[in-house]
Chains A and B, each alone.
Chain A
């Protein structure tokens, strides 16, 4: 399944330690009878710890959110009032903020990521290919606090001075761009998130596109198709499930992103139809209020938000994984490495 073309080299390299390890004495089967199971159990322990960690996360979130779950029930997720002083906790503004900023990010990121993936696989000259891929990877390596810093001091002023007044003038009639331009707000959060998830969607799209058998491409080209028609008919049609998986994976990342969003979304618990208005997200409210949460109910409510976030990202990621697997599993070589 992992038939890489470079295998001969790997073999030469890997064989060296074997030669060094010429066993001079006979290995007693008894010692391995004991050591092998031990080794196996030890390694299994490391692996099972993953399961334990996920279990512990779920357990901690469940036990600590009990109080809030009992007190508010489902009302928690439809209530719009978040007032720690009067002990009222409704999470709808945060859910709204998380969803809108993530969807906005997808709207911006998907075409750009897909475009860059196609650029790398179809158009880019061979010599430049690895450089462009490297730049895309680099975008993924920038920490979110730096995106946040850039968002506050570079992006937000630009939006406030140029982009947002322009949007309000030309597209104000849609109702999406009402109100004063703050710079900081839902739009800024969406743009920052988009830049952050482009490398995720882009690298998966690139892998999936490369996994399309070249016979498909050649077949369509042989019929006299243009480049774009080849991309549309041979590549996108074959790769769409995998690309969708990548998009959902990006969505999962955007939903859970904390620091960068907290720095630019404005941190105001309100539901506004305007993208220029400040908002709040699930992850941000935890980041901002967790350490100053006074009272058990307040803390419990924040844990319940954490639980909601955990479950949402769990479902989204599981879905994405299944989609990506279903595509790459049956494909020859290239995928996934």
Chain B
């Protein structure tokens, strides 16, 4: 038999072209990320100063304008959202992992996925008609509730996955000692899965921290300080949105500064998660 000598030129060429395309597309994606981050760093850092963190927004033409109230407002809204969304999300994850290995569980899992895909603006107008209309007030509470709704499916999913990663023998050992089921879950399974669950919580937090659309008709925004959860409240993403669409250069600079602060908050959260999970046993991403 005559031996073919290597791979034909056409096949070689096609191989190189395809692999080149693969490399180029990966480079393009990474380049777009780097451009976005670089613009944020350069434009944001250029307009960031101490007043930004300590002062209220001031009228155009006055210097020393800041977003202190928006940062505090975001903090309050996120606190409300976490206080509602995290316990419910964890509880839901526990139910799905421990009792949800059946049809009903599958249905709830599917519901969580559906809720995860609902556009945030739709959740915003629902929170508006549920809370704002009945209370006759735009409020941090309504904004927090909208963000909590967005948080729950993510947290539920990750909690369930982390609980399922605890080996079955641990569950059996605890139950074999005569510990009731609820106590097994609370004192054995949840502590064993803590690092993974916390990762899920922080990713859920990072996801809602930058949400703007659900806050438009719920928290509304505010030019002044507000510490009451029942009143309109400023939020960092809302302020960036308003300033970016304004016609003033001064406000555009503020928007860039706000965006830098926001991205640092979010990337910081994600990076901490990444660092912690890289060392721990329970990995979230491969």
Write the residues of chain A forming the contact surface with B, with a CB cutoff of 8 angstroms.
2, 4, 6-7, 9-11, 13-15, 17-18, 21, 23, 26-27, 31-32, 35-36, 38-40, 42-51, 53-54, 56-57, 60-61, 64, 111-116, 118-120, 122-124, 130, 132-139, 141-150, 152-154, 195, 198, 202, 207, 210, 224, 226-229, 231-232, 249, 252-253, 255-259, 263, 283, 286-287, 290-291, 302-303, 306, 309-310, 313-314, 316-318, 321, 334, 336-337
Are the C-beta atoms of B21 and A115 separated by less than 8 Å? Answer: yes
Give residues of chain B (1-39) contacting chain A, Cβ–Cβ below 8 Å: 7, 11-12, 14-15, 18-19, 21-26, 28-30, 32-33, 35-36, 39
Given contacts A50-B108, A60-B129, A149-B240, contact A321 B173 (CB under 8 A): no
Per-residue interface assignment for chain B, residues 33 to 56, with 1 indicating a CB less than 8 Å from any chain A CB and 0 otherwise: 101100110010000000000000
Closest-by-CB residue of A relative to B270 is A141
Are the C-beta atoms of B108 and A51 separated by less than 8 Å? Answer: yes
Cβ-based interface call for B174 (8 A): yes
* B-side contacts of A13, CB under 8 Å: 192, 281
Are the C-beta atoms of B121 and A145 separated by less than 8 Å? Answer: no
Are the C-beta atoms of A138 and B267 separated by less than 8 Å? Answer: yes
A53 to B23, CA, bound (A): 43
Given contacts A60-B129, A149-B256, A317-B113, contact A49 B88 (CB under 8 A): yes
* A-side contacts of B108, CB under 8 Å: 47-48, 50-51
Given contacts A115-B21, A143-B210, contact A10 B166 (CB under 8 A): yes
Which of B92, B96, B126 has the most chain A CB atoms closer than 10 A to its own CB? Answer: B126
Prevailing SS type, chain A contact patch = helix
Closest-by-CB residue of A relative to B256 is A149
* A-side contacts of B110, CB under 8 Å: 318, 321
Size bin of chain B's contact surface: 35 or more
A226 → chain B, closest Cβ, in Å?
4
A264 to B88, CA, bound (A): 36
Closest-by-CB residue of B relative to A255 is B119
Closest-by-CB residue of B relative to A48 is B108
Are the C-beta atoms of B213 and A258 separated by less than 8 Å? Answer: yes
Given contacts A43-B91, A47-B95, A49-B88, contact A137 B285 (CB under 8 A): yes
Are the C-beta atoms of B185 and A39 separated by less than 8 Å? Answer: yes
Which of B18, B32, B121, B180 meets A283, CB within 8 Å? B121
Given contacts A46-B88, A115-B21, contact A226 B11 (CB under 8 A): yes
A302 → chain B, closest Cβ, in Å?
8
A23 to B123, CA, bound (A): 46
